[in-house]
Amino acid sequence: MNDTADRKNFLTPNEVASLLMVSPITVRQWAQKGILEAQTTAGGHRRFSRQIVERFARDRGIELPGTRDRLLIVDDNHQFNSYLQALFSAEVEGLQIFSAFDGFEAGRLVQQHKPTVVLLDVMMPGIDGFEVCRRLKQSAQTRHIPVVMVTALDQPSDKIQGLESGADDFLTKPVNEIALITRVKNLARLKTLNDEMMMRAATDRQLGLTENGELDRALSGDFGRVLVVEDHARTAQSVVRPLAQFHETVVEASMEKAFEHLTVEHFDLVLVSLSLKSGDGLNLCSKLRRTDTTRHLPIIVLIDQGSDARLLHGLDAGVNDYLTRPVESHELLARVKTQIKRKRHTDYLRNQLQRSAELAIADGLTGLYNRRYLDGHLSTLIDDASAGNRELSVMMVDIDAFKNVNDRYGHRIGDSVLVEFAKRLRRNVRGVNLTCRLSGESFLVVLPDVPMERASQIAERLRAQIAAEPFLGPSSERIRLTSSVGIARLNGVQDSGDALVKRAHSALENANRCGRNRVGVAA
Nearest CA-CA partner of 454 in 517, 502, 519: 519
* H/E segment holding residue 299: strand 299-303
The pLDDT assigned to 217 comes to 67
Q: What is the pLDDT of residues 335-373, one digit of tens each?
A: 898 889 878 877 876 676 566 556 667 888 898 988 888
**Which amino acid belongs to residue 361?**
I
* H/E segment holding residue 388: none
DSSP for 506-522 reads: HHHHHHHHTTSSSEEE-
Nearest CA-CA partner of 221 in 206, 204, 243, 241: 243
CB 160 within 8 A of CB 330: yes
State the number of CA atoms in the 13 A half-sphere of 282 facing the CB: 11
Which residues are within 8 A (CB) of 422 and not within 5 positions of it... i.e. 6 or more apart? 366, 367, 368, 435, 437, 443
* H/E segment holding residue 442: strand 442-448
- R_g (Cα) of the chain, nearest Å: 30
List C-alpha distances in Å: 521 to 190, 442, 464, 486, 509.
59, 17, 16, 6, 10
Query: Which 3 state secondary structure label does DSSP give 239?
Result: helix
Query: Which 3 state secondary structure label does DSSP give 293?
Result: helix
The pLDDT assigned to 162 comes to 81
CB 503 within 8 A of CB 490: no
The count of other CB atoms within 10 Å of the CB of residue 284 is: 24
How far apart are the C-alpha atoms of 344 and 432, rounded to whole Å?
Answer: 36
Q: What is the pLDDT of residues 425-473, one digit of tens each?
A: 988 887 668 899 998 999 999 998 899 999 999 999 999 999 999 999 9
Report the predicted TM-score, pTM, of the whole model to 2 decimal places.
Answer: 0.53
- Which residue segments constitute the domains of the chain, with CATH numbers given? 3-59 (1.10.1660.10), 68-212 (3.40.50.2300), 220-356 (3.40.50.2300), 371-521 (3.30.70.270)
Burial class (CB in 10 A: 0-12, 13-18, 19+), 286: middle
The pLDDT assigned to 63 comes to 54
Strand partners, 322: 301
The DSSP letter of residue 231 is -
CB 167 within 8 A of CB 174: no
Which residues are within 8 A (CB) of 336 and not within 5 positions of it... i.e. 6 or more apart? 221, 224, 226, 243, 247, 269, 271, 300
| Candidate list 177, 441, 453, 509, residue with the active-site label | 441
Nearest CA-CA partner of 269 in 302, 237, 241: 302
CB 322 within 8 A of CB 300: yes
Answer yes or no: 441 catalytic: yes
The pLDDT assigned to 5 comes to 35
The pLDDT assigned to 199 comes to 55
The pLDDT assigned to 318 comes to 79
| 210-249 burial: b if 16+ Cβ within 10 Å, else e | eeeebbeebbebeebebbbbbbbeebbebbbebbeebbeb
The pLDDT assigned to 208 comes to 46
What CA dihedral angle connects 510, 513, 519 and 523, to 10 degrees?
-20
Q: Could you report the average pLDDT of every consecutive run of 10 residues in the chain (523 residues)?
A: 45 81 77 82 78 72 62 95 93 88 93 91 90 90 88 77 81 86 81 63 49 64 92 93 95 96 94 92 93 90 87 81 88 87 77 64 86 82 83 96 93 94 89 84 93 93 94 92 96 88 96 95 89
Cα of 170 vs its chain's centroid, Å: 29
Strand partners, 398: 442, 484
State the number of CA atoms in the 13 A half-sphere of 370 facing the CB: 13
How far apart are the C-alpha atoms of 2 and 63, rounded to whole Å?
Answer: 29
The DSSP letter of residue 366 is T
How far apart are the C-alpha atoms of 445 and 461, rounded to whole Å?
Answer: 14
